[in-house]
Amino acid sequence: MLQISCPYCGARAEIEFRCGGQAHLERPGPHDQVSDRQWAEYLFYRDNPKGVSLERWVHRFGCRQWFNVARSTLTHEILAVYGMGEQPPQLEGTKR
């Protein structure tokens, strides 16, 4: 069971949280100018890295706030926690 540091509440057990998937997705728009391909990329295509994954989590049973996490999908180690809308920190092995 992971231990995740909510930026507001501090370190808490994984079961209080929910993972919302890849972070920093940009919603394409306006809707009538988005190609099927672009839309599919946004909806379904994912980096799915083996290594550092940037993802968003919500403190579902806590303060209900969303935030970003840089986490290794290999070791599950959490390398950074940062706010919604913030840029990811420079980490080794991070894409983009």
Partner 1 sequence: MSKLERMSPLGRGISATAYSSEFVSLRQQTFFGVAKVIVRKSDLLGSPELEALLGVRAPQMANTVVQGSGVEIAWAAPNQWLLLGDEAEVARICAAAQTAFRDETALVLQLTHAYAVFQIEKTGARDVLASLCPLDLHPRAFAPGRCAQSLLGDAGVFIQQCNEAPSFRLMVDQTYAGYAWRLLSEACKSLSSS
Partner 2 sequence: MSGFRLEKGGRIDRSRPLSFTFEGVSYEGYAGDTLGSALMANGVSMLGRSFKYHRPRGLLAAGLDEPNAIMQLEDGAQARPNVKATGVELYDGLRAAPVNAWPSLSFDLLSVNSMFARFIPAAFYYKTFMWPHWSLFEPAIRRAAGLGVSPEASDEDIYDKRYAACDVLVVGGGPAGLQAAQAASRSGARVMLVDHDAQWGGSLMASNRHVGQDPADDWIGRVVEELRAAPETQLLNRTLAFGFYDHGLVGLCERLTDHLPLAERSGPRLRFWKVRAKSVILATGAIERPLVFPNNDRPGVMLAGAGATYAARYAAAPGRRAVFAVNNDSGYESAAVLRRLGVDIAAIADARPGLSAKGAQMAASGINVFTASTITNVRGGKKVRAAELHKLDDDGQAVKGSAALVECDTVLTSGGWSPVVHLYSQAGGKLRFDEQIQAFVPRECGQHVLCVGAAGGEFSLTQGLADAARAGAAAARDCGFDAADIEPATVDGEAFGNIRPIWQVDVSGLAGERGKAWLDFQNDVTSDDVALAIRENFKSVEHVKRYTTLGMASDQGKTSNVNGIGVMEGALGKPMAQVGTTTFRPPYDPIEIGAFAGRRVGENIAPLRPLAAEDAHEMLGARFEDYGGWRRPAFYAQDGEDEHAAVRREALAVRDGVGLFEASPLGKIEVAGADAREFLNRFYVNNMATLKPQRCRYGVMLDENGVVLDDGVLACLGPNRYLAGTTSGHAALIADNMDEWLQCEWPDLDVVVQEVTTNWAVMNVNGPRARDLLRKFDCSIDLAAEAFPHMHVREGEIEGVACRIQRVSFSGELSYEVAVPWGFGASFWAALMDAGREFGVSPFGVETLMALRVEKGFLHVGADTDGMTLPQDIGFGGVISRKAADFIGRRSTMRPDSLRDDRRQFVGLECLDGSAKPLTVGAHVLLPESAPPALTQGWVTSSVYSAALGKPVALGMVANGRERIGEEVKIWDRGVSRRARISAPGAYDPEGKRLHV
Partner 3 sequence: MFLQEPKDLTRHYSAASLLREGFNKQKGWAPAWRDAAPKAEYDAVIIGGGGHGLATAYYLAKEFGMTRIAVLEKGWIGGGNTGRNTTVIRSNYFFPESAAFYDFSLKLYEGLTRDLNYNIMFSQRGMWNIAHDRHGVEMLHRAVNAMLLNGVDAELHDGAEVKRRIPILSDAPRYPVMAGLLQKRGGTARHDAIAWGYARAADMRGVDIVQNCEVTGFDIVDGAVTGVRTTRGDIKTGKVALAVAGNTSVLAELAGFRLPIISYALQACVSEPVKPVLDTVLLSISHGVYISQSDKGELVIGSAIDLYPSYAQRGNLPVMEHTAAGVVDLFPRFSRMRFLRQWAGIVDVMHDSTPVVGLSPVKGLYLNCGWGTGGFKAIPGAGFCYAHTIAKNEPHPLTAPFSLKRFETGALIDEAAGAGIAH
Smallest gap, in angstroms, from Cβ of residue 17 to partner 1?
11
> How many other CB atoms are there within 10 angstroms of residue 68's CB atom?
23
**Closer Cβ to Zn ion, 18 or 46, answer by number:** 18
Smallest gap, in angstroms, from Cβ of residue 86 to partner 1?
15
Smallest gap, in angstroms, from Cβ of residue 31 to partner 2?
4
Residues touching partner 1: how many (CB under 8 A)? 12
Determine if 85 is a binding residue for partner 1 (CB under 8 A): no
24 binds, among partner 3, partner 1, partner 2, none (CB under 5 to 8 A by kind): none
Helix (H, G, I), strand (E, B) or coil at 40: helix
Give the residues lining the site for partner 3 (CB under 8 A): 1-2, 14-15, 18-19, 21, 36-37, 39-41, 43-50, 53, 55, 71, 73-76
